[in-house]
Amino acid sequence: MKEEGLFSRFVEEFEAAGGRLLFPRDGVSLNQALSRMVEEEGIRSYAISQRTPRLRAIDALFKELGLEKSRDYPSLDMGVTRAHGAGATTGTLIFVFKGGRDHLLTSLPRVHLAVLRMEDLREHVSEAAIPFLRDPEGPPPYISLVTGPSRTGDIELTHVTGVHGPEKLYLVVVS
Amino acid sequence: MKGVFQELREYPARWRRLEEVVRNPILREALERAMTRFAQGRAQALGSLGDFREWTERCRELKDRALERSQELWDRVKERVEAQGGTFYLALHAQGAREYIGKLAQESGGTLVVKGKSITSEEVELNTYLAPLGLEVVETDLGERIIQLAGERPSHIIVPAIHKTKEEVARVFSEAWGRDVPDDPYLITKEVRRDLRQKFLGAQVGMTGINVVSADVPAFFLMTNEGNGRLCSTVPPVQVILTGWEKIVETVEDAFTIFDVLPVNSVGLKYSSYLSIFTGPFNWKKGRQLHVVVLDNGRRRALEDPCFKEALRCVRCGACMNVCPVYKTVGGHTFAHIYMGGIGAAWTAITNGLEEAREVASLCTGCGTCLEVCPMGIPIPSLVEHVKGLVKERGKAERAAVRLVAKRRLLESAAGLAVLVAPERVSRLPGPARAITRDRVLERPQFPPFHPWAQARGLEEGKGGQVTLHAGCMVEYFYPGVGRDAVELLTRLGVPLQIMKEECCGLPARVVGDRALWEELEARNGGNIPPGRPLLFLCATCMSGFHRYGEDGMELPPLLDLSQFLLERLGSEPFPGSLKARVAYHFPCHLERHLGIREEPLELLSRVDGVHLVQGEEAHLCCGGAGLYAFKYPPVSGEILKKKLEWLEREGVEVLVTSCPSCIMQLRGGVEKRGLPVKVVHMATFLLDALDERSGLEG
């Protein structure tokens, strides 16, 4: 699959699973997309894992928007983390955790915003995950593969999102 | 004999219970909706997978490979888990697993245990064990939580509370929380999120099951949609994984292969929301622990059994239940011990006990619909037969019945007697037996049987002819007219025939688990088969029985269904006859799913001028007859039949053609009971009528 085809396939599957791509979108800058989402979702508090320059930039923007950065993870509106990879055929994101509390940002808040580098996208999710599992230094203790928001159909098969995990999953893809 | 009568006396009470189940409109509608949705979702999502059979082959192989060397693979996993500071415990029995987890929880310093949905934990009855130890166990899957609070058992493996309406669910939570909860699935879910969030954060122990364990890189794979599994695994300080011995695969690639198929096959999702992979203790907080409890509980012994071994491949996708006519009718409270459905019979035998398994097995019709959807290629109907064969204490009545019908002379006398004393049609049996005639009219045997008539007509047993015509017991005694029509049809088409000396094909014995009788009848029939010419069957079930002789190693001439034989003779020509009618074909389970004959009957019917062929997925549904099943569990059989009849009515079908006399008995009985203007006929009769261009069809 050519890179462009791969990306559009990924976006199609990601959104079919209930995720929303914020960026890149035609005619919308990253800052616009993020501000709009924050407003729509009524986000007031957030936390972010600041491991990459891009995440730091996003953090700066949220500060500018007046959001409160909190360490009380269970009551957060939004968690922001890096995605370490993705698989196009299922629209799945990969999050790799070695320790620390970052994993809680993907599981506890109502909204999860993930930031993926285009070059970490693979066709099948296993191609993205297996290199971590086969890391010569040893595999990370916990890898979380996420396909869309948390969902259930347990009551009369009615589709409801946000059961125990995030109700919304947003994605920013950078190159 | 005493046992037989005792069992017979139990039947009416069973029928009443089943009657209540099938008359529960909420359960029926919920099951129907869920399974239709899953089956449709599966069909749509399958497109993305490509050839399902190829996937099945891959999954089957990778799992068989792993099970073959499971000891070595688990040794590797154990070593790695321990090297990283986790503990690894092999529980030989359910009790060992319960006690180990109970002790862990008691020593954890807390009293709250949060749990992800795990059928393995149901198997060891963990919750009932933990409660008296002063531990609060909280199920965190929404459906599991509902039934936990309601004090019930899951009725479906994927949607455990499918039998509950939203009003009932709201009532359950209102009672549990002591306040009014609205009957809105969205609002209920949000309240449960709030409630359980406190439990996740406060629990000392989080326990989950596991879908797959890989060995090359030891890793535990857990798939969920709600996200409760990963909270259970990562938030509380003590993480407990409870997994069966059979979950092992060789490589992480193999694990991913299974997840390509599992959610698609299960509920029609390409991927579930969360796939969590753990390779050791996740020490994000000081003092976190990982305990891996691997459950044997009969699994390693099952590895030694060539039949049960196949059940160990099961990945619990539930697809077999979603298509099962019995499961759709009675649900997972009735058709289960702990493990559900036909596959559940085998699993109950492996893990819980044969007596319980026999009860589950008894409800299976053997239709084989599950065979078409199992991603692991598990021969579920054979496993059910195996279970029945292992239990001699139960099923005495059905074994006695099968032994009776295997006696040809006795049948002949009974048929002669019935003609003298019984009416042509019985539409209401007296006493408790009226359950049998509630949904169907019964036909009495006919006299003379087929063989004496055929001999009088000059056909000889094992002599002459190009083709051997096999009638089968049902044609012989109940529908000799079908045999006569077949002889007439084939003779007029210029096919010289012979007949053979017949015995019961043995299939009824085999499906009730009477191996000895099966083998005896197999040998007797084997000696009677005329060599060197094709064997043509009027009964799909007999043909399926003979096919199994071949599987057992017997050398056989070609076995052909009437449609196969005639189509081959016709080549590309149309059938030389015509009949103007709306015609549907009912696929007998044995023909379609056990013998794999899917195209020929429709092709043949479409070659008859004037036939307007009505097709639909309902053509492939089991009719619920299943030989003795209609007499054993009439309420279930009747409900299954209903779907077929509703289809005939909806489509305005005038003639229903089929190739199994047992199906004819069930379908004709149902059509008559319901007063539908549908003629149910054997393929031979239909074609003869077309040849004659007769306007009225006779049965």
Cβ-based contacts of B282 with chain A (< 8 Å): 97, 99, 141-142
Give residue A2's pLDDT band: very low, low, confident or very high (50, 70, 90).
low
Cα–Cα distance measured from residue B402 to residue B419, given in angstroms and rounded to the nearest whole number? 22
Q: What is the pTM of this model?
A: 0.94
Confidence (pLDDT) at B694? 52
Render pLDDT for B202-213 as a digit per residue (tens, 0 to 9): 999 999 999 999
Q: Does A130 touch chain B (CB under 8 A)?
A: yes
Min Cα separation B271/chain A (Å): 6
Look at residues A14, A38, A29, A25 and name the one whose alpha carbon lies nearest to residue A110.
Answer: A38
Q: Torsion over CA of B594, B667, B388 and B321, rounded to 10 degrees? A: 70
Give residue B373's pLDDT band: very low, low, confident or very high (50, 70, 90).
very high
- Look at residue B696 and tell me whether its pLDDT is greater than 50: no
* One-letter-per-residue 3-state SS of B128-146: HHHHHHCCEEEECCHHHHH
Min Cα separation B328/chain A (Å): 16
- Amino acid found at B115: K
Cβ-based contacts of A16 with chain B (< 8 Å): 270
Q: CB B279 to CB A141 under 8 A?
A: yes
b (16+ CB within 10 A) / e for B303-330:
bebebbbbbbbbbbbbbbbbbbbbbbbb
Q: CB A148 to CB B273 under 8 A?
A: yes
Confidence (pLDDT) at B85? 96
> Number of CB pairs < 8 Å for A and B?
165
Q: Does A125 touch chain B (CB under 8 A)?
A: yes
Quick one: tokens of B83? 């090297």
**Mean pLDDT within B301-318:** 96
Indicate the average pLDDT of chain B.
94
CA gyration radius, chain B: 28
Confidence (pLDDT) at A51? 83
Residue B221: how many CA atoms within 13 Å on its side-chain side?
Answer: 29
Cα–Cα distance measured from residue B591 to residue B171, given in angstroms and rounded to the nearest whole number? 48
Contact B322, B369 (CB under 8 A): no
Comparing A148-162, B43-57, B675-689, which segment has the lowest mean pLDDT? B43-57
Q: Which CATH architecture has domain B568-692?
A: 3-Layer(aba) Sandwich (3.40)
Quick one: tokens of B668? 């004709």
Percent of chain B with pLDDT over 70: 99
Through-space distance between the first and last CA atoms of chain B, rounded to whole angstroms:
38
Min Cα separation A145/chain B (Å): 5
- Look at residue B4 and tell me whether its pLDDT is greater than 90: no
H or E stretch covering A94: strand A92-97
Render pLDDT for B467-516 as a digit per residue (tens, 0 to 9): 999 999 999 999 999 999 999 999 999 999 999 999 999 999 999 999 99
A:22-61 residues touching chain B, CB 8 A cutoff: none
Q: Does B198 touch chain A (CB under 8 A)?
A: no
Render pLDDT for B211-243 as a digit per residue (tens, 0 to 9): 999 999 999 999 999 999 999 999 999 999 999
Quick one: tokens of B311? 């059940």
Name the DSSP class of B620: G
Which residues share a beta bridge with A116?
A83, A173
Domain with CATH 3.40.50.10420 in chain B: 46-299
Q: Name, in order, each residue with C-beta under 8 angstroms of B448's C-beta and a sequence gap of 6 or more.
A: B480
Cα–Cα distance measured from residue A106 to residue A174, given in angstroms and rounded to the nearest whole number? 19
**Mean pLDDT within B190-200:** 96
Contact B41, B269 (CB under 8 A): yes
- Look at residue B695 and tell me whether its pLDDT is greater than 60: no
Cα–Cα distance measured from residue B177 to residue B592, given in angstroms and rounded to the nearest whole number? 52
Q: CB B253 to CB A100 under 8 A?
A: no
Helices (H), B69-183: 70-83, 94-107, 119-123, 126-130, 142-150, 166-177
Contact A66, A44 (CB under 8 A): no
- Look at residue B450 and tell me whether its pLDDT is greater than 70: yes
ipTM of the complex: 0.98
Reply yes or no on domain A3-174 having CATH 3.40.50.10420: yes
Q: Name, in order, each residue with C-beta under 8 angstroms of A20's C-beta and a sequence gap of 6 or more.
A: A168, A169, A170, A171
**Mean pLDDT within B562-586:** 96
**Mean pLDDT within B522-545:** 96
Comparing B222-236, B375-389, B412-426, B491-505, which segment has the lowest mean pLDDT? B412-426
Provide the CATH topology of domain B46-299. Answer: Rossmann fold (3.40.50)
Helices (H), A17-118: 30-41, 53-64, 102-107
**Mean pLDDT within B63-68:** 98
- Look at residue A1 and tell me whether its pLDDT is greater than 60: no
B142: nearest CA partner in chain A? A154
Q: Does A136 touch chain B (CB under 8 A)?
A: no
What angle is formed at CA B663 by the lines to CA B469 and CA B498, rounded to 5 degrees?
5
Cα–Cα distance measured from residue B175 to residue B154, given in angstroms and rounded to the nearest whole number? 20
Cα–Cα distance measured from residue B483 to residue B479, given in angstroms and rounded to the nearest whole number? 7
A103: nearest CA partner in chain B? B234
Of A16, A147, A160, the CB nearest to B272: A147
- Number of CB atoms found within 10 A of residue A28's CB: 13
Contact B308, B378 (CB under 8 A): no
Render pLDDT for B505-526 as a digit per residue (tens, 0 to 9): 999 999 999 999 999 999 999 9
Q: Where are the domains of chain A?
A: 3-174
* List of E strands, B434-494: 442-443, 467-470
Cα A125 to Cα B227, B363, B385, distances in angstroms: 19, 41, 40
Cα B219 to Cα A90, B249, B276, distances in angstroms: 21, 10, 10
Of B30, B273, B276, the CB nearest to A150: B273
Q: How many residues does chain A have?
A: 175
Name the DSSP class of B590: I
- Amino acid found at A63: K
* One-letter-per-residue 3-state SS of B543-588: HHHHHHHHHCCCCCCCEEEHHHHHHHHHCCCCCCCEEEEEEEECCC
Q: Does B234 touch chain A (CB under 8 A)?
A: yes
Q: CB A145 to CB B278 under 8 A?
A: no
Give residue B394's pLDDT band: very low, low, confident or very high (50, 70, 90).
confident
Backbone angles phi and psi of B504, in degrees to 5? -55, 135
Backbone angles phi and psi of B659, in degrees to 5? -130, 25
A:137-156 residues touching chain B, CB 8 A cutoff: 139-156
Q: Name, in order, each residue with C-beta under 8 angstroms of A26's C-beta and a sequence gap of 6 or more.
A: none
Q: CB A144 to CB B275 under 8 A?
A: yes
Q: CB A157 to CB B146 under 8 A?
A: no
Q: Does B159 touch chain A (CB under 8 A)?
A: yes
